Amino acid sequence: MGGEKVGRADERLAGQLRIIRETYDLANDPEWEGLCTATSHLTGEKINRFTHIHQSIDDLLKKQQMTRFLCHRTGGCIMRCMGIDAMNALSVITYEMDQALGTDTNQNFLKYLRYWQDNDICANCAQTDTKGDRLKRPHEQADPDLYLRIIESRPDGIVVRGAKIDNTTAPVGDEIVALPTRFMTEKDNDYAVAFAIPADWEGVKMLVRPATQHKRKYLQAPIAEIGDAESFTIFDNVFIPRERVFLDGKGDPRQTAYGGFLALLFAHYHRHSYTGCKPAISEVLASASALVAEYNGIEKEAHVRDKISHMIGTAELVFAAGQVSAYRAERSTSGTYIPDEVLTNAGRRVAGEEIYNEYKTVADLAGGLCATMPFEEEFFSGETKELANKYLMRNPKVSSENQHRCFRGIENLIISEFSGVMQVGGLHGGGSPQMETITMMARYDLESLKNIAKYLFGIEKELPKYERPTVTPRKMLERFQKAYKA
Amino acid sequence: MGGEKVGRADERLAGQLRIIRETYDLANDPEWEGLCTATSHLTGEKINRFTHIHQSIDDLLKKQQMTRFLCHRTGGCIMRCMGIDAMNALSVITYEMDQALGTDTNQNFLKYLRYWQDNDICANCAQTDTKGDRLKRPHEQADPDLYLRIIESRPDGIVVRGAKIDNTTAPVGDEIVALPTRFMTEKDNDYAVAFAIPADWEGVKMLVRPATQHKRKYLQAPIAEIGDAESFTIFDNVFIPRERVFLDGKGDPRQTAYGGFLALLFAHYHRHSYTGCKPAISEVLASASALVAEYNGIEKEAHVRDKISHMIGTAELVFAAGQVSAYRAERSTSGTYIPDEVLTNAGRRVAGEEIYNEYKTVADLAGGLCATMPFEEEFFSGETKELANKYLMRNPKVSSENQHRCFRGIENLIISEFSGVMQVGGLHGGGSPQMETITMMARYDLESLKNIAKYLFGIEKELPKYERPTVTPRKMLERFQKAYKA
Amino acid sequence: MGGEKVGRADERLAGQLRIIRETYDLANDPEWEGLCTATSHLTGEKINRFTHIHQSIDDLLKKQQMTRFLCHRTGGCIMRCMGIDAMNALSVITYEMDQALGTDTNQNFLKYLRYWQDNDICANCAQTDTKGDRLKRPHEQADPDLYLRIIESRPDGIVVRGAKIDNTTAPVGDEIVALPTRFMTEKDNDYAVAFAIPADWEGVKMLVRPATQHKRKYLQAPIAEIGDAESFTIFDNVFIPRERVFLDGKGDPRQTAYGGFLALLFAHYHRHSYTGCKPAISEVLASASALVAEYNGIEKEAHVRDKISHMIGTAELVFAAGQVSAYRAERSTSGTYIPDEVLTNAGRRVAGEEIYNEYKTVADLAGGLCATMPFEEEFFSGETKELANKYLMRNPKVSSENQHRCFRGIENLIISEFSGVMQVGGLHGGGSPQMETITMMARYDLESLKNIAKYLFGIEKELPKYERPTVTPRKMLERFQKAYKA
Amino acid sequence: MGGEKVGRADERLAGQLRIIRETYDLANDPEWEGLCTATSHLTGEKINRFTHIHQSIDDLLKKQQMTRFLCHRTGGCIMRCMGIDAMNALSVITYEMDQALGTDTNQNFLKYLRYWQDNDICANCAQTDTKGDRLKRPHEQADPDLYLRIIESRPDGIVVRGAKIDNTTAPVGDEIVALPTRFMTEKDNDYAVAFAIPADWEGVKMLVRPATQHKRKYLQAPIAEIGDAESFTIFDNVFIPRERVFLDGKGDPRQTAYGGFLALLFAHYHRHSYTGCKPAISEVLASASALVAEYNGIEKEAHVRDKISHMIGTAELVFAAGQVSAYRAERSTSGTYIPDEVLTNAGRRVAGEEIYNEYKTVADLAGGLCATMPFEEEFFSGETKELANKYLMRNPKVSSENQHRCFRGIENLIISEFSGVMQVGGLHGGGSPQMETITMMARYDLESLKNIAKYLFGIEKELPKYERPTVTPRKMLERFQKAYKA
């Protein structure tokens, strides 16, 4: 960080730790038992839900609900979902692969999962490769390392080289779970790789980028204590022991094809997590909007209510999309439940499309002061103290300090470096709207949809019994397994 | 109609009858049993679902699903939901009113419901008053008849005068169920009125406005056979027998306050029905878009896929909103289930906001020809026949006739007088986006929402256990009953 | 029309003639002299501005202004611009071509123009080919006639075969000016063709599609008298005398390349005309919105004012775009002025993107009645007369008849078959938003734009003197001429 | 600042000084003479255009153009326009007031203007009061100081107390020009006050809020050197000499009414300035988008071109709106030119509505890396240097350093605290979209607009000769003067 090697105690990482802490504290709080905890299907013991593999529709619903509630407490991203999303994807794909290829990866995975549950592991999922020239496939790049690749595959493990970026939580997490970023062709065997390692493993170099809030001296508040840290993680010839390897296209080229599914399925679980956090973020922004509108005395204005109601509406619809995705989930052969893809993507997309607009509404209702607010000190010391507080007064029913807290909080929420990172995260995290459109259209069967028009226009005499024209992950994998065997 | 008294056999009403017919045919088709039929809670017999009072979450889910499927077959509005939506609202309110006031309206209602179920009644719900000066309440209007009112209340019944507008289906339906359009104050007792009568009752005068498609000579198609008919219904001193009166604020001023609830609850059931039909309409338009894109050879273009995916996304989200509204439904004391209001309104609003945009997409992908298409005859007769078909050819894999059918169908779908009516219906039916925003904000508890910001900004030390800050119909009624007793 | 051969006196064409009439009447009205008339650069005589070649920036400004004013009177499209837009494009391209190739087409053009001006000619421009498979070029089509082509080129003229669609005004106009629809390659020589002929010429077969309003019996109004008529025009081996041929790629393959410029330049003039008519259409819709909001008594509501102000804003911005395009026009070598392309396209695009939204606003503020309004007769005869008028009353300051007129007018404006055609015309006429984006990006020099970021980011030391990074038609032609000579 | 009194040499103010410097450097650069300089109407000498009173349409056009060009060089806001916008407003209003009331304020103003021009003064305009409870007028506030007010008016000057917020440039400017923020009633006489004083005048206390970029160590770039500083300016019983007082409602209550005009006219000039800077900001963001799309290798994608073309389109339309506003400017009696209000507001509004969307597009095309980019040091030192640069590579034609510069630049542009301030400034500066809608509707004559619908619907027989239904500042003042005399 900034040219120096720092430990996890570096104060620039404190904000992210503060967020992660909530995921431990609330799991230990009896009030949230059953929501923030789950029952392990391996051991039957109570575990943190962030280490659980979804065994039912109810698990998916609870995961979504837990995410929403925790994000209210952290004012946004809870930063621990990607690890368990990766684990759920691995639980399905390692099982399917073993079934088809006779490999025994799933056993390794389950052992590793047991370790997770026993130790309440917090992990990053390292998926996004640096990708070099985006028009070329991994093996076509000028520098072969621009996608993470296996340099060597041997009986005791593999050696990997490359880098993964946009790695939230990696700087403070216990483990890194690395997954492929896209489908691979036969020529990309070396790039079909998945594994897990401790975050401080030999050869792992993290270039860490923190984003924090201005330190407060007088007015402590949760919003001011949170922060983000992202890692540009370089794997500089890193050895991964075999029992921690979950995909090895170099050692066994038959595994390559599963890389794409793994990429996709992780993205899918992660987008479903977004149907929990995004509504919370909309609600946090709506909550700030409603509060500052009250303090500014404009809360009854028609345009104000209209704008807030649209943020609420987005939150409700995105959450509903995730809920119905859960209700329509299907059980994979491994026993893990997979939510509906079309709806999950439709929900996540709306959230991504609206996020900048929601920041705009907060700014709109707050007025310019949130961007021009004098520093905290001017309100607490010296000759300006009394004057600064005097002139801050708006709604006479609210104390000057609370008005100060409100505008200071909104400054943290929408004007800080941290908020810039959150905007981009709200757009890109889990895949940008562009990606969701592509996924939706890949899963949606347009030919079946066209039957409606063909019937109405008299091109076909009958309208076939309508089924929602979507391709489930199950069907997709089945098709793939069949094609593979043939 | 046009200055003449016409019967139901008038050919301008055939299009609407064609639509209504589907609701009977499919209920009698074993393939759709359980979806288009239900089990009467009165008799335990199989009845048309369009005559059923929702006894469970599953009933609400089925109603929504049935509506979507039927609307695929009619290319849009199924035109029979408003009647049963009114009946569901009456089932709740008459029961609540009896409980509170000791009246016996619910008995009358149940008898009337039995008649519905036995005879598979199709009814219009006449809600919208002409409203005169919209800034004035009913009793303040220059002409006291601008809202439907009770002229006389006597033991054997009431006499009403006034008019209701935008009455879809009334011209072909068996019955008219009349409900109030808004909350009433004490001075508006005469206007608190609800009842049901046969559509051809003495004193009922319908000014009927049909909207049909150009009659086809050569290419028959379902889309060309449908039509709409709306009634401007005048009640010219109409006597309603007591057993068909469900609200009488003139006879019993204590009933007045229930008028508003009835208006609201009908609107609510009706908006929930819209979460079934609107997705279907989006899908019909998306289906036509996908088909014409294929015929035009542009289906792989990025912008085309993007536009279609947004129509699909809207359909999925609105349907999901309705589904989750059903999952969150609460059982009223009468036994009837009431879906969630915030979500239902959020879903219906998106549909209304998008409708014109969806027509735009169909027009966009179809190109100008859908608006400039020569008449059918030019393709089938005389010297132009061969030439017209020759020059229509686009995608060489599709026959000229099917290309003709496609553009002719789109003409019906988006260029006709009928489509103009459907656009307005898509915007206003069940209440315009403006009304849904108002309802949402009335049901959403902003103070609870503000707690999130208060906690994050350090204004409050604790974040109260989060509950979705909405007021359910149950809670609303309870508050009202309490206030009333006090 | 409908299988019959009809003359211009057919009553279904009366609505379009009613519109065209305005362009003659107002040019003869001294009040509008200078605006609706111009001074011929050929003869120095006063002519109808619809027959004028733009000789100055002021001509472009006046053309735009005249279009806006006339469209207010016809409630939309004035239907005579495409002819003179085609003539302006021909005035430039025939001159350029003669300069480069030594042909003498411009002389023929000027003679023909003289005929126009002397006879105040109203013409259609037939540009859009039927286009068959849109992924194939003209010569690649299964049927070679799917783009209009030259069958034979001989000294006295050419013989053409094919069809043009979406031909507004052709059914009532004096002449048809035919132009190519796209750029052509060497293999498409036969398809590089432009000419003008009388609309009733031998071999020209028009399949005419009218769109009219319901005939009024009682309440006459301009909006009810207008109509559209579109032609699907088939050229069934039509001979064109040489002096009426303006492009002949078959006879002289060097001319082929000019076909694309002609297509482009016509589209450009036509889009500039749209910066005149589109603001008028937005204003017509805004005017109806404001009027019905007053009659409905909601004109002071914040959301109503917001919606109307956005329609006004669109009108103002689109008109401003056209005006600045005129101010930045450049004089071509032929003397004809050509407006700025980037701005013209940016303006036209906004209008196209907003049109469906504007219809939505009218429907929103009018309420459902505009779609469910009983027929005129019910308000004027028999037992319903008095009742119908009684219940129509809203704003007590406005007579029942005027309220009737207002809703009847809005019905014509947004619910009729005619309005469906106008919606599609508003989107596609002159090229859909998609086409304007493509044109804008072709004319805009992104490399120059990038200089700003390169300077700010320290990639380049200096920011080159900023010029608006656009390619003018002049520059484009020069490049082409140079390339051609080389 | 942060509890300490600091001078202008404080390094946190360097970024703003860097921006202001451009306005001096380029005015002294012969290349920009005539654009960045003007000819004083007082002395006939060459002056910085930022000290000039607009004497012609050309002056308004040049001001707009200069603003656009300078903003390209500073990556956004030029921070010097508000001073001269205030001076232009004063030039009109002091003259009008003298004419009507026989006061001699304009003489003082002109003397002060001479001082500006001679010394190339850079000033802040302090307009926004803290406003307290926004539902109450100035004199109704709990604390009478919540709007800036005159405590005492005596022959040699006035004493003022209160505060102004959102004061860009005040921390580094020479002077502060204070103006009222709204219309005042008779009871608000004390609050009708305008004056100018040196920024370091006795009793003026600035609470300064800087927003800067992370300091660069290795890769210098203009974008990293700029910054903002805003002042919360407290006037703690400040004496203003009479010759620097331009409005004194306490001393002469007849002046009170001119306060509102002054507020309005300053806002108007300032919004017209925004039609210069906002297009530049859109272009800066579009430029960054185009550059990063190239570096990411996605520049040919349809959705990328579509998004960039919309930013360009916004820039073009907003600039065109300002240009046409200038072309339609009217000369006030004082000789100062006033641009068109409806168009200026329509243009500024679009810019405000789009700003967050434009940031979204940059983030969209850049991808997540702009938010997760490691610190500069990791690319230049120690063991990470080589690896960091290796893995940054995308487009192989671009050096790693330039790719670094691009993402670092985008980080500054959209992820920094500075960018948060710029987002809010883009929305609120010069008045938020809400304010522009209100202004537009106040100036637009809806009754005249309704004439179009009245004619088309047959409610009026004739369409009155159309004039753009707007009220000019001239007309507005005339009405006021008349009303005042009566």
List, for chain B, all residue ranges whose pLDDT scores fall below the cut of 50. none
B277 close to C (CB below 8 A):
no
Q: Tell me the three state secondary structure of residue B245.
A: strand
DSSP-derived secondary structure letter, C7: -
CA distance D132 to chain B (A): 20
User: At CA C321, angle to CA C320 and CA C323, rounded to 5?
Assistant: 60
pLDDT above 90 for A456: yes
Predicted confidence at residue D471, as pLDDT, reads 79
C57 close to D (CB below 8 A):
no
Q: What are the backbone dihedrals phi and psi of residue A338, each rounded to the nearest 5 degrees, phi first?
A: -120, 120
CA distance A6 to chain B (A): 29
Predicted confidence at residue B472, as pLDDT, reads 77
Predicted confidence at residue B261, as pLDDT, reads 92
D3 close to C (CB below 8 A):
no
Predicted confidence at residue B477, as pLDDT, reads 77
Residue A468 pLDDT class (50, 70, 90 cuts) = confident
A395 contacts on D by Cβ (under 8 Å): 133
Q: Answer with the residue of higher pLDDT: D344 or B470.
A: D344
Residue C420 pLDDT class (50, 70, 90 cuts) = very high
Range with lowest mean pLDDT among A464-473, B2-11, D381-390: A464-473
Q: What are the backbone dihedrals phi and psi of residue B220, each rounded to the nearest 5 degrees, phi first?
A: -70, 145
Q: At which residue do the structure tokens 């509504």 appear?
A: A279
Q: Tell me the three state secondary structure of residue D122.
A: coil
Partner-chain residue, chosen from B69, B413, B458, that has the shortest CB–CB distance to A221: B458
Between chains, do C303 and A306 touch, taking CB under 8 Å as contact? yes
Q: Which two tokens stand for residue A67?
A: 């995410």
Kindly give the interhelix angle for B57-74 and A446-456, rounded to the nearest 10 degrees.
60
A135 contacts on D by Cβ (under 8 Å): 297
Residue C352 pLDDT class (50, 70, 90 cuts) = very high
CA distance A79 to chain D (A): 14
DSSP-derived secondary structure letter, D171: T
pLDDT above 60 for C230: yes
Here the contacts of B329-332 (C-beta below 8 Å, separation 24 or greater) are: B329/B54, B329/B57, B329/B60, B330/B472, B330/B473, B330/B474, B332/B92, B332/B95, B332/B96, B332/B473, B332/B474, B332/B477
B369 close to C (CB below 8 A):
yes
Between chains, do A207 and D416 touch, taking CB under 8 Å as contact? no
A291 close to B (CB below 8 A):
yes
**Helical (H) or strand (E) element with C102:** none
CA distance B215 to chain A (A): 14
Nearest CA in chain B to D300: B302
Between chains, do D320 and C324 touch, taking CB under 8 Å as contact? yes
Partner-chain residue, chosen from B131, B363, B432, that has the shortest CB–CB distance to C423: B363
What is the rounded distance in angstroms from the CA atom of residue A250 to the CA atom of residue A246?
12
What is the rounded distance in angstroms from the CA atom of residue B114 to the CA atom of residue B126?
21
Taking residues D318-322, report their average pLDDT.
Answer: 98
What is the rounded distance in angstroms from the CA atom of residue C392 to the CA atom of residue B408?
36
DSSP alpha helix (H) spans, A193-255: 222-225
Strand D149-154 to D157-168 pairing:
antiparallel
Closest to B407 (Cα-Cα) out of C165, C32, C467? C165
CA distance C145 to chain A (A): 26
C361 close to B158: Cβ distance less than 8 angstroms: no
Q: Tell me the three state secondary structure of residue B278.
A: helix
What is the rounded distance in angstroms from the CA atom of residue A292 to the CA atom of residue D42?
47
CA distance B298 to chain D (A): 14
pLDDT digits (tens, 9 = 90+) for D161-214: 999 999 999 999 999 999 999 989 889 999 999 999 999 999 999 999 999 999
Predicted confidence at residue A470, as pLDDT, reads 83
Between chains, do C320 and D324 touch, taking CB under 8 Å as contact? yes
**Other residues' Cβ atoms within 10 Å of the Cβ of residue D82:** 26
CA distance A128 to chain D (A): 10
Taking residues D124-147, report their average pLDDT.
Answer: 94
Between chains, do A303 and C301 touch, taking CB under 8 Å as contact? no
D316 close to B (CB below 8 A):
no
Predicted confidence at residue C473, as pLDDT, reads 74
- C-alpha R_g of chain D: 24
Question: Residue C258 corresponds to which amino acid?
Answer: Y
pLDDT above 70 for D142: yes
Q: What are the residues whose beta carbons fall under 8 Å from the beta carbon of A4, sequence distance 6 or more?
A: none
Predicted confidence at residue A310, as pLDDT, reads 97
What is the rounded distance in angstroms from the CA atom of residue B286 to the CA atom of residue B28?
29
Predicted confidence at residue C36, as pLDDT, reads 97
Between chains, do C387 and B236 touch, taking CB under 8 Å as contact? yes
DSSP alpha helix (H) spans, D328-457: 341-366, 369-372, 384-392, 400-414, 417-428, 433-443, 446-456
CA distance D398 to chain A (A): 11
D162 close to A (CB below 8 A):
yes
Q: At which residue do the structure tokens 């943190």 appear?
A: A48
Taking residues A104-121, report their average pLDDT.
Answer: 98
Predicted confidence at residue B164, as pLDDT, reads 97
A309 close to C (CB below 8 A):
no
Predicted confidence at residue D484, as pLDDT, reads 61
Q: Which chains touch D (3 or more CB pairs under 8 A)?
A: A, B, C
D429 contacts on A by Cβ (under 8 Å): 368
**Residue C311: exposure state from Cβ atoms within 10 A (0-12, 13-18, ≥19):** buried
Beta bridge partners of C39: C46
D309 close to B (CB below 8 A):
no
Q: What are the residues whose beta carbons fall under 8 Å from the beta carbon of C258, sequence distance 6 or more?
A: C93, C96, C97, C192, C247
Strand D204-212 to B228-241 pairing:
unpaired
Q: Which two tokens stand for residue D485?
A: 């005399």
C312 close to C282: Cβ distance less than 8 angstroms: yes
B272 close to A (CB below 8 A):
no
Partner-chain residue, chosen from D287, D350, D466, that has the shortest CB–CB distance to C452: D287
Taking residues A357-386, report their average pLDDT.
Answer: 95
Q: What are the residues whose beta carbons fall under 8 Å from the beta carbon of A44, sequence distance 6 or more?
A: none
Sheet holding B157-168, edge to edge: B149-154, B157-168, B228-241, B204-211
B205 close to C (CB below 8 A):
yes
pLDDT digits (tens, 9 = 90+) for C386-409: 999 999 999 989 999 999 999 999
What is the rounded distance in angstroms from the CA atom of residue D430 to the CA atom of residue D418?
18
B301 close to D (CB below 8 A):
yes
CA distance C252 to chain D (A): 36
Secondary structure of A380-422 as H, E, C letters: CCCCHHHHHHHHHCCCCCCCHHHHHHHHHHHHHHHCCHHHHHH
Between chains, do C357 and B355 touch, taking CB under 8 Å as contact? no
pLDDT above 60 for A486: no
Test mutation, A208, A209, A391, chain D, max D CBs within 10 A: A391
Between chains, do D456 and C222 touch, taking CB under 8 Å as contact? yes
Secondary structure (DSSP) of C227-292: -EEEEEEEEEEEEEEGGGEEEETTT-GGGHHHHHHHHHHHHHHHHHHHHHHHHHHHHHHHHHHHHH
Q: What was the ipTM of the complex prediction?
A: 0.95
Secondary structure (DSSP) of B166-178: EEETTTT-SEEEE
CA A417 to chain centroid, in Å, comes to 20
pLDDT digits (tens, 9 = 90+) for B415-453: 999 999 999 999 999 889 999 999 999 899 999 999 999
Partner-chain residue, chosen from C364, C420, C434, that has the shortest CB–CB distance to B371: C420
Between chains, do C287 and D313 touch, taking CB under 8 Å as contact? no
Test mutation, B378, B381, B438, chain C, max C CBs within 10 A: B378
What is the rounded distance in angstroms from the CA atom of residue B289 to the CA atom of residue A441?
14
pLDDT above 80 for D483: no
Nearest CA in chain B to C237: B387
C227 close to C213: Cβ distance less than 8 angstroms: yes
D149 contacts on A by Cβ (under 8 Å): none
A65 close to A35: Cβ distance less than 8 angstroms: yes
What is the rounded distance in angstroms from the CA atom of residue C312 to the CA atom of residue C317?
9
Taking residues C235-258, report their average pLDDT.
Answer: 97
Q: What are the residues whose beta carbons fall under 8 Å from the beta carbon of C129, sequence distance 6 or more?
A: C138, C146, C147, C148, C162, C163, C164, C165, C181
Q: What are the backbone dihedrals phi and psi of residue B196, each rounded to the nearest 5 degrees, phi first?
A: -135, 140
B405 close to A (CB below 8 A):
yes
Q: Which two tokens stand for residue B18?
A: 């064609």
User: At CA A300, angle to CA A295 and CA A303, rounded to 5?
Assistant: 105
Predicted confidence at residue C241, as pLDDT, reads 98
Predicted confidence at residue B471, as pLDDT, reads 79
Residue C485 pLDDT class (50, 70, 90 cuts) = low
pLDDT digits (tens, 9 = 90+) for D84-121: 999 999 999 999 999 999 999 999 999 999 999 999 99
Partner-chain residue, chosen from C209, C377, C380, that has the shortest CB–CB distance to B373: C209
- Full-model pTM: 0.96
